Amino acid sequence: MLLLAQDNKPLRPDDSSSLRWHVREAKTLGKTSISIPAPHFEVAQPESLNHALAHTTLVLARFLAQATTHDDDFVVTWRKYRILEKFSSSPSVSQDSDEPFTTYVPASLFPISQSEFVMAEIGGTAVIDGVTITMRNSENRALPETRPVLMFLQFASSGAIAALNYGTNGAFWTDQFETIHAIDESDDNHLGSELLHRSAGKLSGVRALANFRGQLR
């Protein structure tokens, strides 16, 4: 399953943490539902805004649909988006697999048009052998589903799958007045602070920054 790890290596938990191992333990204890933490994985360290615009694809997108899958190790939540506006573009990263993306993207999210993409996030809830298992991902803050989201993305070579390159440090929601709000409002989110400062917190400011950068190429 492609999860676009930063070093292109498969994300694998410890052997004792397979989902079916947890399900067997739950059944032994007579439980029908359990909650476990998601394994830790790395995202790219935030860069300056100029470098982020050069190294990633910055899009404004709207949430369309969601589906959850699981394999032996992970519960994965897939979200489908439609691109409303694109402010920068970078080369795609290759898929670390010979399998076409259609083999692991949930069927309910197809078709995926040229202006759409899906993102996979470790975490979510699945039912396995009668046990409801929730994998909690405490590292990511939830992206809003009712507002357009501004995101710094890396796309796989298919163009249909993307990942948040800087995690939620590089994600923002926008209101009806095109005002930008950081998903991660912590003081150490320097990329978010720079984007909000240089754009004056408005999508019009992001457009101006993207156009200015384009004129310098």
Q: What is the pLDDT of residue 82?
A: 98
Q: What is the pLDDT of residue 12?
A: 47
Q: What is the pLDDT of residue 8?
A: 41
Q: What is the pLDDT of residue 214?
A: 56
Please give the average pLDDT of every successive group of 10 residues along the chain, which has 217 residues: 42 64 93 90 85 94 96 93 94 58 86 95 93 85 92 91 93 97 93 97 95 61
Cα–Cα distances (Å) from 182 to 74, 140, 185, in that order, read 28, 13, 6
Give the E-state strand segments of 21-160 in sequence order: 33-37, 57-70, 75-86, 116-122, 124-128, 131-136, 149-155
Please give the helix or strand (H or E) that residue 24 lies within, else none: helix 19-28
Coil, strand or helix: which one is 197? helix
What residues form DSSP beta bridges with 153? 57, 164
Task: Answer whether the bond into residue 46 is a cis peptide, omega within 30°.
Answer: no
pTM equals 0.85
Q: What is the pLDDT of residue 91?
A: 73
Q: What is the pLDDT of residue 103?
A: 77
